[in-house]
Amino acid sequence: MSFLYMPMEIAARELDSRLLISLFAARSGLEVVIGQKWLLQKNARWMPKGFWIFKTLTPGDAKHMQRIKNLGHRIGAIDEEMPGIGDSRQPLRWVDKRSVDAAEAIFCLGEKHVASMNRAYPEHKEKLLITGNPRWDFLRPDLRQLYEKDAQKIKQDFGPIILINTNIGRLNSSKASPEAIIRAQIKDGRIDLKREVDREFTDAGEAWERANFAAIAPLARRLSKEFPDHLIVLRPHPTEKLVTYEQALAGEKRVKIIREGPAASWIAASDLLVHTSCTTATEAYALGQPSVCFQPAPSLMHNYFLSGALSVIAKSEDGVIDAARSIFAGKKDVQMEEEWKAIFNSFFAAQTGEFASERIANHVAQALSVNKNSGPPLWKPGLLFRKKWFPTKFQRRIFPLQTADEITARLEALATIFGGISVPKVQQIGDGQYHIHQ
């Protein structure tokens, strides 16, 4: 067994990090299969036994984890929700006990992540491995250059930018209605409205989203007037509807709604990020880019997310404008910057030395006792392996299909940065599914 499987959901958020794991894994002798999760998980029965890395530990993941484990595969997980969470006093609603039970290794973001999981699942302490998160590998100085070309192109095309990132994931969801989302969360056990703490959290989340959504369009218009030399780029969360913002900002020539490309490229290209407690603000901090957290109404949700703790806080449009002017003038709060540094370091491991991707790949190689194969690749699918994917419009938007040549080009860019790492071969084995090997 020398095969690593990594299902993905949102390409713009996950693909680069999985390719980086693939680069180190191939170097270690592993053969890697990556792809969009909907088809890859269905194909588990028709693929050789290997080690799967799921992106989260949700109730939805639990049933797939257990089914794939029952087929003889081994299971690990990276918790992609954790980098956005700051308040560990809230229950880990996105983590399902069945997922934790199914996994043999959980690759944790840092000390805070391990502490939260230990409190919730002390019987699984031995599974918790501090590796860092591979998405944050790209924000280290060693790898930031991967986004520099894209960032420079954005600057050339658009000039100075103030970036606004939103995360109105329930009220403005392109997946389902707010009511359907709540029903799904109740069904899979994330919330129980009979519990006061869950009712309070659900109500607070709805009020928080309503306040944020009502405030974003007026703020974008205000910023365009106060800073006429900057283009205001509004970048909604990948799961949000664009049309609501397009309608709200119709006719605003100095405001553009753009969601293409990795968030890091747009953050690196901007002079300032303004956000509503979006995880991308944590990415901005790691990139050394300034951010302002706009909090138009009081809410317990402000503490729930980590991003506000790494940003300047503004509770009104005037506050955002004042903060932006101060940042553009180069003013710094040394004490606040020291606090941000301490907070970030307590959450994020692997900021020096081995990359998170490297640590994860090495763990899998060791767990599978991989010996480097000098011969042809050994991975072969079964006869009933499904190659065709029939996605919904939403699925195709968040995971657009790419060619093997496009995947190879990204791996070549990564290998060039590291030097001395050979570029693995990429074979497309189905719609959105790729076999990567030396």
- 225-244: per-residue pLDDT in tens? 999 999 999 999 989 999 99
Token code pair at residue 352: 């020096």
On the question of pLDDT at 198 being above 80, the answer is: yes
What integer best gives the mean pLDDT of the chain? 93
CA dist 207 and 171 (Å) reads: 10
CA dist 212 and 297 (Å) reads: 8
Spatial CA neighbour of 19 closest among 37, 32, 30? 32
- 279-298: per-residue pLDDT in tens? 999 999 999 999 999 999 99
Q: What residue spans of 276-333 are helical by DSSP H?
A: 280-287, 301-304, 317-328
- 67-114: per-residue pLDDT in tens? 999 999 999 999 988 887 876 567 788 899 999 999 999 999 999 999
User: Does this chain's domain 3-137+350-437 share its CATH topology with 147-347?
Assistant: yes
Estimate the crossing angle of helix 404-418 against helix 145-158, to 10 degrees: 110
Q: Are the C-beta atoms of 170 and 206 separated by less than 8 Å?
A: yes
- 290-328: per-residue pLDDT in tens? 999 999 999 989 988 999 999 999 999 999 999 999 999
- 325-348: per-residue pLDDT in tens? 999 999 988 899 999 999 999 999
DSSP-based three-state secondary structure for 130: strand
Query: Phi, psi at residue 128, to the nearest 5°?
Result: -85, 115
147-347 has which CATH code?
A: 3.40.50.2000
Q: Give the per-residue pLDDT at 148.
A: 87
Spatial CA neighbour of 137 closest among 360, 310, 307? 360
- 360-384: per-residue pLDDT in tens? 999 999 999 998 766 789 999 999 9
CA dist 225 and 241 (Å) reads: 25
CA dist 17 and 134 (Å) reads: 5
On the question of pLDDT at 182 being above 90, the answer is: yes
On the question of pLDDT at 253 being above 70, the answer is: yes
Q: Give the per-residue pLDDT at 8.
A: 96
pTM as predicted: 0.87
Q: Are the C-beta atoms of 133 and 120 separated by less than 8 Å?
A: no
Helices (H) and strands (E) in the chain, counts: 18, 14
DSSP 32-98: EEEEEHHHHHHGGGGS---EEEES---HHHHHHHHHHHHTT-EEEEE-TTGGGB--TTS--TT--HH
Query: What residue has token string 């409190």?
Result: 119
CA dist 200 and 66 (Å) reads: 32
Q: Give the per-residue pLDDT at 89.
A: 66
Domain limits, the chain: 3-137+350-437, 147-347
Q: Give the per-residue pLDDT at 350.
A: 95
- Looking at domain 3-137+350-437, does it have CATH number 3.40.50? yes
Query: Phi, psi at residue 288, to the nearest 5°?
Result: 80, 20
DSSP state of 3: E
Percent of the chain, pLDDT > 70? 99
* pLDDT grade for 251, boundaries at 50, 70 and 90: very high
| Beta-sheet strand order (sheet of 231-235) | 255-257, 231-235, 161-165, 272-275, 291-294, 312-314
Q: Give the per-residue pLDDT at 90.
A: 74
* Amino acid symbol at 287: L
* pLDDT grade for 43, boundaries at 50, 70 and 90: very high
* pLDDT grade for 202, boundaries at 50, 70 and 90: very high
